Every structure is written in C-alpha cells, then in structure tokens.
Amino acid sequence: MDRINIEKIILHILDNSVGIPALSEEEHPYSGEIMEFLEIHIEKVFDDINIKKAFFDSEENLVKNICIDISKDNDNFIAKTKEFAQLMYNIMAENPSIPSCDLICVLFNGDGRKYLGFFILNYKTSYIHYIEESDDKRVNKVIKQKTTLPNVNQKIDEFIIVDLEDYSILLKQKKYEINGEKEYYISKYLLHSKDTLSDKEKMDIVNKVSKKIVRDYCEDDVTKMAKIKNAIVESVEESDTIDIDHIKTKAFNENIELQNIYEEEIEKRGLTEKTIEVNEPLYKKIPRKQKLIIDEDIEIKIPVSYLTGNDKIEFINNTDGTISIILKSIKDIQGK
C-alpha cells in the first residue's frame, strides 16, 4: 500500500476487570512517534496472510451504519467509535473468555481509498522492573504488568478494516469460547458478516488435499508429492498465482479421474477459486523443499525440482523391500 495518511485516532479501553468501558471523549493527541507506530502496523496488516475479506450480511447492520455515519461526516468519529466500542464491550462482558483490550480506531487514507480501522490490542502479560522507595531504603523489584501495544516488529492479533467506499471488510480474528464452543465472535456477533478464506487457509487446503491424495491414491509416493510442490512453484513463477488446473494436470498427467478427485476434494473444503493470487507474504510460505525422514533417524531436505527427475537423486526399490537413495553429481559436501 502507498503512503498511509491518518486523519483521526481515538483510543477506547475495554477492560473486563473494571466493569465498564473507559470510552475516550476526545481524539488521541497527535505525535510523530504515534503516527509512525500506527502507519507501520497499518501497512503490515494489509499484507497479513491471515487476513480475510468479509461482507456485512444485510443493509440494516449496526456496525455498517456506524461506518456510514463516519463516512458521511468525520465529526461523527468520536461518538460513533464510542458506540462501536460499547457494542464490542457488551459482547465481552457476557463472555469472559474474550480478553480485555485497548481498541484503537483510526480513520485513514491509502491507495486513493478511505478506510476505518478498528485495531484490537489484546492485553498480554509482561514483566518490568519497579523501584520502591521508603524513608531510608530503596528496593528494586520485578513485577507483572499488563501491556497491550505490540512493538513494530510484531503483528496485531485482531483487526477490522472497513473500506468506506464499498463497505467491504478486511478482517483478522481469533476464536474464543462462546456458549461452550470456540467461535469467531467478531464476525458472528459484532459485525454480523460473512467472510471468505484467508490466503493462509487457501494454501493450507491445497497442502492438506495434496498430502491426502498422495497418501490415499499414490501410496505416499514422495516423488508424486514433489511433483505437486514443483507444479505450485512453477505456477507462481509463471503467473503470480497458484493455479489448481496447472497443479492437477502436471501432478497427475493423463489420470483424469485422479485430477477430478483432487479438484473435488479442494472444493469440498471450501476453496472454489481456480486460482489463488500470491502476494509477497504468501510467496515466502510456498514450500520449495521436500523433507524426507529415513528410518526415523535420518532427515534430508531436497529441492522439489530435484525429485521430479533422476539427474540429481534416484530412488531404487530393492528386492528385499527396502529403498536405496542415490545422490548424483555432487560437487561439494559441507557439514553444518
């Protein structure tokens, strides 16, 4: 995303131990350090591979109406973010598994669009030193302290970003125990939204289905798994996407039945897209090596491209049922 331009900031404190939310009556004071802190985090959340696209499930939606009111008139920012924070706190008060947090609401621009961000900074425990002074002594102690703000190298656990042009949502959330079951309370009870799969979830589906098909139909053939991984890498290098048709065709050649089974299994798990767009964070997660565990004591990591031919490595099935592995054309061996 291009340079972030922050227009308004407000901080509301949602601490369950207090019994009522501490809602700010004024916007947060502006300072260079705070601006830089928020800008860095906002840029990061757009690249988070756990982010989901979501949509309000109806026109008459309390949170959507809050966003519309702020979009129409920035002067509504304080009152309407207080309204949002109260809605969120009401859910938290009824469900003690949801952690206390600081809620930073930010109105900002980026890539020519206007956004309203709700950044949920869940309380975490840390330890700091504390100096206790008495009349004649000083005692240095270590004490436990609640802290909420992640540093610039960490990620924000949960957030909601609403595009104020089309009111689509970018969402990252965690499950908490609600009525005895683990649920996503933000989408279900706060936003009343429907969401799509995150990039990470899409990649996980492809990986899990690939392993299942190789296990169930290819006798756990390590070279078949390598073909799938190599096809994924090829697809990304050629088109910046993970192309399901390319993967199934390359991995299963002329076996149309197995290609159909592969595609059906992926769709069954909720991934209906034929191609997955690959951004930089997802690109880094794509496996390019195959780990082989040999008799539980030996571990080898080999580039998947080496496993799809016999010029670098060869597997030989011996008559006694064992397998021999031959590594070829080795120029250098280093111990690490």
Does 140 map to a domain? no
Residue 332 lies in a domain: no
The residues, ordered by sequence, that sit 6+ positions from 202 with a Cβ below 8 Å of its Cβ are 242, 271, 273, 276
Is 119 within a domain?
Answer: yes
Burial class (CB in 10 A: 0-12, 13-18, 19+), 232: buried
Q: Is 131 inside any structural domain? A: no
By CB atoms closer than 10 A (0-12, 13-18, 19+), residue 88 is buried
Q: pLDDT for 300-334, tens place per residue?
A: 888 877 776 677 888 788 888 788 888 888 888 87
In a domain, residue 336? The reply is: no
Q: Are residues 167 and 289 in the same domain?
A: no
Q: How many domains does the chain have?
A: 2
Is 185 in contact with 95 (CB distance < 8 Å)? yes
User: Is the separation of the CB atoms in 326 and 313 below 8 Å?
Assistant: yes
- Is residue 168 domain-shared with residue 207, that is, in the same domain? no
159 and 292 co-located in one domain: no
Domain range for 261:
200-327
For residues 58 and 167, state if they share a domain.
yes
- Secondary structure element (H or E) that encloses residue 129, with its range: strand 124-133
Residues 162 and 35 in one domain: yes
Of 159, 176, 196, the domain-final residue? 196
50 with 11: CB under 8 angstroms?
Answer: no
Return per-residue pLDDT of the chain as tens, 336 residues: 678 999 999 999 999 888 899 999 999 998 888 888 899 999 988 888 899 999 998 878 999 999 999 999 999 999 999 999 999 999 999 999 999 999 999 999 998 899 999 999 988 878 888 888 887 888 888 888 776 677 777 788 899 999 999 999 999 999 999 988 999 999 999 999 998 899 889 999 999 999 999 999 988 888 788 888 888 988 888 898 999 999 999 888 878 999 999 999 999 999 998 999 888 878 888 878 878 788 777 888 888 777 766 778 887 888 887 888 888 888 888 776
Question: In sequence order, what are the residues at sequence separation of 6 or more whose Cβ sits closer than 8 angstroms to the Cβ of residue 233?
Answer: 286, 288, 304, 305
User: Judging by DSSP bridges, how do beta strands 289-294 and 298-303 pair with one another?
Assistant: antiparallel
Tell me if 278 is assigned to some domain. Answer: yes
Which pair of structure tokens corresponds to residue 274? 């034929």
pLDDT tens-digit series, residues 240-286: 899 999 999 988 887 899 999 999 999 999 999 899 988 887 888 88
Name the β-bridge partners of 313: 327
315 with 210, same domain: the answer is yes
Beta-bridged to residue 103, according to DSSP, are: 12, 120
User: Contact at 8 Å (CB) between 98 and 192?
Assistant: no
- Least Cα distance to 236 among 296, 282, 305 occurs for 282
Same domain membership, residue 242 and residue 177: no
Domain boundary among 196, 221, 252: 196
* H/E stretch holding 223: helix 222-239
pLDDT at 1: 66
| 181 in the same domain as 272 | no
pTM > 0.85: yes or no: no
Is 157 within a domain?
yes
Q: Are residues 97 and 110 in the same domain?
A: yes
Q: Are residues 64 and 181 in the same domain?
A: yes
Are residues 169 and 223 both part of a single domain? no
| DSSP code string of 45-80 | HTT-TT-EEEEESSSS-HHHHHHHHHHH-GGGHHHH
One domain for residues 19 and 47: yes
Give the pLDDT of residue 63: 97
Report if residue 287 sits inside a domain.
yes
Domain boundary among 163, 196, 229: 196
